[in-house]
């Protein structure tokens, strides 16, 4: 084999340099003499959760000693653990006073008592080897970063509730501001550092984002088939002109549909048909649509995918589709039955004024107007939905995230149906909603990083006195009342780490009952006012567009007491069942 001339010369020079430098390097390298100390431990918060990226300092007789091989810097890992190796002058140990000090922005600096240093023998050179265990608990500290994060979270709530800005813009502007402050003022003063970009990215729950995207695609395909309008027509046909039976059937159909599909989309598709039915019967559409939207929120509470707050809770707490069904479906069914008959009584006067003389003509018109336009596509869409739900049910066996199931089912549906994915992504995927969730997750991550969430959780725990019964009632009713007046999505996102904290600190809460308290309170509490849930806002908007106005107080008058009744039923259920 013939080597290239340049390569041979280069190789010869490298070999020559190694031969010359090797002995000299060995002679120059200092011997690692002295006492070798290895310190391992965990930095945790008051609840025992690891504190990551805490700077660890070793103090020997009050003097800071740099670790070996880490350029004088040692930080705790994502779980709060750390291992540091140190070289001390010979004879320093074991008599010296050895301590660990941990420092991190938004936390009080913590310093351990004198560590117990144990001798573990000697190495080949006769140096003593020592070991020590150092676990340290850090406490939160109120810094300027805390107040900025709290102000941003509150301001985002106000902007969303007052509708001064679109909720997507409000949430993302808040997230951008937190990062901007962290990398400008926070660069020069750590007390102003709120959240790193890496932690902001880790705070985004992609399981929620991809689950919503997958279900939006499935619903978008089903919309093209006329399936939802056909269901409304069938409800009218089944009632045969009896307005009381019609209202009851529409509520049940809406609730069941909303349990498996987005309740906002369900209302968007059913509202035009319901208005047309009401006009045919010569009654105010409000008498049918208010019970429908109430039933939509009740039905959506029963499953993991029925309402955005449940999606957030399920993803954060790693709860399965089956757990939601087994814990919430029964109480939601009872709430639906009670409120359905409440509304039959509430709108009795309007229902009795309905004109049902031309039922056959109306049925003939609806039969032609509201029919399934693409039976093959409807079958494919329903098959995809069944496939997705089956994967949800098998979560305990497969340990598959719900987002994987939703994406697989929806994308298979697009591939088989040959629907243009670009058209679907442009027209049916609600990108503003997904971006809203991304921004909101980052704002909540900032509040959690600065200790705001932990302080609120501690306050709730202290208010409940560590009593599970009081905690159940408190979480349920606070969630319900708060969700009636502010969007239940940001409220639920804020409550997630608080409930996780309470589960660790209140005896008996490990059963998960507080998750169900939050789900029932946030979802059903949204029924109380027209701004409590997205489905309510959509319904009122389309009604006004059609010429039927309802005031804030008028809506509240029709829905507040049924909401209070459902929350009371849920409270009794939770206290008895858990």
* Spatial distance between the Cα atoms of 168 and 423, rounded to a whole number of angstroms: 22
* Spatial distance between the Cα atoms of 14 and 22, rounded to a whole number of angstroms: 12
Report DSSP letters for 279-346, one per residue. HHHTS-THHHHHHHHHHHHHHHTTSTTSSHHHHHHHHHHT--HHHHHHHHHHHHHHHHHHHHHHHHHH
Bridge partners of residue 136, in order along the sequence = 43
Bridge partners of residue 103, in order along the sequence = 55
* Structure-token match 């080949």, residue found: 124
Per cent of the chain over pLDDT 90 is: 46
Q: In the predicted model, is pLDDT for residue 7 greater than 50?
A: no
Q: What is the 3-state secondary structure (H, E, C) of 375-398?
A: HHHHHHHHHHHHHHHHHHHCHHHH
Give 71's pLDDT tier (boundaries 50, 70, 90): low
Residue range 558-568: mean pLDDT, rounded: 96
Give 277's pLDDT tier (boundaries 50, 70, 90): confident
Q: List b or e across 340-379, with b for residues whose CB sees 16 or more CB atoms inside 10 angstroms.
A: bebbbebbeebbeebeeeebeebbeebeeebeeeeeebbe
Lowest mean pLDDT among 218-232, 283-297, 555-569: 218-232
Residue that wins the pLDDT comparison between 137 and 30: 137
Hey, where are the domains in the chain? 35-137, 226-371+451-577
298, 520 in Cβ contact below 8 A? Answer: no
Q: What is the 3-state secondary structure (H, E, C) of 184-251?
A: CHHHHCHHHCCCCHHHHHHHCCHHHHHHHHHHHHHHHHHHCCCHHHHHHHHHHHHHCCCHHHHHHHHH
Among candidate residues 130, 136, 113, the one with its CA nearest the CA of residue 39: 130
* Structure-token match 């009740």, residue found: 298
Per cent of the chain over pLDDT 70 is: 93
Give 443's pLDDT tier (boundaries 50, 70, 90): very high
Lowest mean pLDDT among 360-364, 412-416, 449-453, 473-477: 360-364
Homologous superfamily of domain range 35-137: Aromatic compound dioxygenase (2.60.130.10)
Report DSSP letters for 349-367, one per residue. HHHHT---TTHHHHHHHHH
Q: In the predicted model, is pLDDT for residue 29 greater than 50?
A: no
Taking each helix axis from N to C end, the angle separating 206-223 and 263-281, rounded to the nearest 10 degrees, works out to 30
Could you read off the pLDDT of 488-534 as tens digits, one per residue? 888 888 899 999 989 988 998 988 999 999 999 999 999 998 878 87
Instruction: List Cβ neighbours of 484 (8 Å cut-off, separation of 6 or more).
Output: 525, 526, 527, 528, 529, 532, 560, 563
DSSP code at position 37:
E
H/E element, 57: strand 55-60
pLDDT at 556: 92
Q: In the predicted model, is pLDDT for residue 10 greater than 80?
A: no
Q: List b or e across 471-498, with b for residues whose CB sees 16 or more CB atoms inside 10 angstroms.
A: bbbbbbbbbbbbbbebbbbbbbbbbbbb
* Spatial distance between the Cα atoms of 283 and 476, rounded to a whole number of angstroms: 36
Could you read off the pLDDT of 149-178 as tens digits, one per residue? 999 999 998 888 787 888 889 999 999 999
91, two tokens? 């004879």
pLDDT at 544: 84
Q: In the predicted model, is pLDDT for residue 111 greater than 80?
A: yes
Q: In the predicted model, is pLDDT for residue 16 greater than 50?
A: no
Q: Sign of dihedral through CA atoms 386, 390, 393, 395?
A: negative
H/E element, 22: helix 5-28
């Amino acid at each position: 084999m013939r080597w290239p001339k340049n390569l041979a010369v280069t190789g010869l020079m490298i070999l020559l340099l190694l031969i010359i430098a090797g002995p000299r390097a060995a002679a120059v390298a200092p011997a690692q003499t002295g006492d070798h100390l290895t310190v391992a431990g965990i930095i945790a918060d008051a609840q025992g959760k690891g504190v990551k990226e805490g700077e660890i300092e070793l103090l020997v007789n009050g003097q800071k000693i740099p670790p070996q091989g880490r350029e004088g810097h040692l930080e705790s890992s994502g779980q709060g653990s750390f291992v540091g190796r140190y070289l001390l002058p010979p004879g320093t140990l074991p008599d010296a006073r050895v301590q660990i000090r941990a420092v991190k922005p938004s936390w009080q600096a913590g310093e351990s008592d004198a560590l117990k240093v144990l001798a573990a023998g000697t190495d080949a050179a006769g140096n003593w080897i020592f070991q020590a265990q150092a676990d340290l608990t850090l406490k939160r500290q109120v810094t300027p970063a805390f107040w900025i994060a709290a102000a941003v979270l509150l301001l985002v709530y106000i902007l969303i509730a007052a509708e001064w800005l679109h909720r997507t813009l409000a949430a993302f502007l808040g997230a951008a501001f937190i990062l901007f402050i962290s990398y400008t003022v926070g660069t020069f003063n750590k007390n102003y550092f709120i959240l790193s970009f890496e932690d902001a990215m880790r705070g985004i729950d992609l399981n929620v984002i991809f689950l919503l995207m997958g279900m939006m695609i499935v619903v978008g395909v089903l919309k093209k088939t006329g399936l939802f309008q056909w269901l409304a027509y069938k409800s009218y046909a089944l009632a045969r002109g009896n307005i009381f039976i019609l209202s009851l059937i529409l509520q049940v159909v809406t609730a069941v549909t909303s349990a498996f599909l987005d309740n906002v989309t369900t209302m968007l598709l059913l509202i035009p048909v319901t208005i047309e039915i009401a006009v045919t019967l010569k009654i105010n559409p409000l008498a049918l649509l208010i019970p429908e939207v109430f039933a939509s929120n009740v039905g959506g509470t029963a499953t993991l995918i029925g309402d955005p707050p449940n999606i957030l809770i399920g993803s954060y707490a790693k709860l399965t589709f089956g757990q939601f069904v087994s814990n919430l479906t029964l109480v939601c069914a009872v709430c639906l039955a009670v409120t359905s008959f409440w509304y039959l009584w509430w709108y009795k006067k309007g229902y009795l004024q309905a004109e049902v003389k031309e039922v056959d003509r109306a049925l003939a018109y609806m039969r032609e107007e509201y029919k399934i336009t693409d039976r093959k596509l409807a079958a494919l869409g329903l098959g995809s939905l069944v496939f997705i739900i089956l994967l949800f049910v098998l979560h305990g066996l497969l340990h598959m995230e719900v987002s994987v199931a939703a994406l697989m089912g929806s994308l298979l549906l697009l591939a088989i149906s040959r629907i243009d994915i670009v058209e679907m992504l442009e027209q049916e995927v609600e990108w503003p909603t997904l971006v809203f969730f991304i921004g909101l997750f980052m704002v909540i991550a900032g509040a959690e990083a600065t200790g705001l969430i932990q302080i609120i959780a501690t306050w709730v725990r202290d208010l409940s006195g560590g009593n599970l019964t009081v905690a159940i009632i408190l979480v349920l009713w606070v969630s319900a009342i708060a969700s009636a007046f502010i969007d239940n999505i940001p409220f639920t996102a804020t409550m997630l780490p608080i409930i996780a904290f309470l589960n660790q600190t209140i005896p008996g809460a490990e059963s998960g009952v507080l998750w169900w308290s939050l789900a029932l309170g946030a979802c059903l509490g949204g029924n109380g006012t027209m701004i409590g849930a997205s489905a309510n806002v959509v319904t009122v908007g389309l009604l006004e567009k059609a010429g039927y106005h309802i005031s804030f107080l008028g809506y509240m008058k029709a829905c507040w007491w049924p909401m209070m009744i459902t929350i009371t039923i849920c409270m009794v259920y939770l206290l008895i069942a858990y």
